[in-house]
Structure 1
Amino acid sequence: MLLFIGIQASGKSTFYRQRFFDTHMRISLDLLKTRHRETRFLDACLSTQQRFVVDNTNPSREERARYITAARQARFRVIGYFFEPDPSASEQRNAQRDKKQLVPPVGLFGTLKRLQRPSMDEGFDELYLVRALEGRFEVMRQA
């Protein structure tokens, strides 16, 4: 399981499409719309041992724990990708989205306020820091 962590418009979905589209299913509340659908999709991936990415903001340790616990119980490796916040760049990327995908600034900055940097003691096997740069990503493994 790959768990993405970061504010809206930080590049998570683009990173998924560039790096994991061909190898991992994508679980996203933006796509699935309800927690019920998300849970069903998550359960299907876990029970079939299908590799997957959780492409949500996952800002707090508590929000991440539900995925980490479930993945651990299903004997998945858990790898986290923390998207370093750059509020100004996220605001610019958000402004370029179509109206249906636009996140109100209060939502973007509200998530930023709740964002907690992940740590290995949450149950990650590996943890990476991701920086969105113009058209590409810099990825660094965290200790």
Structure 2
Amino acid sequence: MARQELVVMVGLQGSGKSRWVTEHLAGTHAVVSKDHWPNARRREARQQRTVAALLAQGASVVVDNTSPSPAERAPLVALAAAAGVPARAVFLDVPLETCRARNEAREGRARVPLVGLYSAAGRLTAPSTAEGFSEVTVVRS
């Protein structure tokens, strides 16, 4: 049996995070994303509660959000540490223009307003083990 872990996806909208999760982790990890609750107030708090509960149940969890900055990732790393579970980051290092083109091809609510994409790009910092991650995997496409 695989060791329990928390995986934090990091990357811009349109970088391929959800596809990567589907191809590599969906069968072994509970998938948590703020996108699952588009109309909820306090989505961050709800995500924290959900991740904490899943970790407490012994599940491996993958958080599929942009998580662009160390400050946005820190609460997740803290949850993993509190549960005694390693946290691993998977960084989809994809050029902004590629993400923008993929985003433009999306329909309806799946398309992120450009201001959101550029805002995330402005905060995007590659994750590192200095943040408390046991491992950082970089995926380029």
Normalised by the length of structure 2, the TM-score is: 0.88
| 1:129 counterpart SS class | strand
Pairing 1:20-31 to 2, within 5 Å after superposition: 20-31=25-36
Tell me if structure 1 keeps the 8 A contact 2:48–2:76: no
Alignment of 1:100 with 2:105, yes or no, is no
Identity of matched residues, %: 34
- 1:9 alignment partner in structure 2: 14
Task: List per-residue Cα deviations over 1:117-138 (Å, max 9, x = no partner).
Answer: 1111111111111112xxxxxx
Give 1:113 shift.
0.6
Give 1:65 shift.
0.5
The unaligned stretches of length 5 or more in structure 2 are 1-5
- 2:78 alignment partner in structure 1: 69
Tell me if structure 2 keeps the 8 A contact 1:28–1:56: yes
CA distance in 1, matches of 2:87, 2:45: 22
Q: Which amino acid aligns with 1:126?
A: E
Cα RMSD, aligned residues only: 1.1
Q: Which amino acid aligns with 1:116?
A: T
Normalised by the length of structure 1, the TM-score is: 0.87
CA distance in 2, matches of 1:8, 1:57: 6
- 1:89 alignment partner in structure 2: 98
Give 1:73 shift.
1.1
- 2:50 alignment partner in structure 1: 41
| 1:100 counterpart SS class | helix
Tell me if structure 2 keeps the 8 A contact 1:3–1:53: yes
Q: Which amino acid aligns with 1:112?
A: A
Compare the two structures and name the one with the higher strand fraction.
1
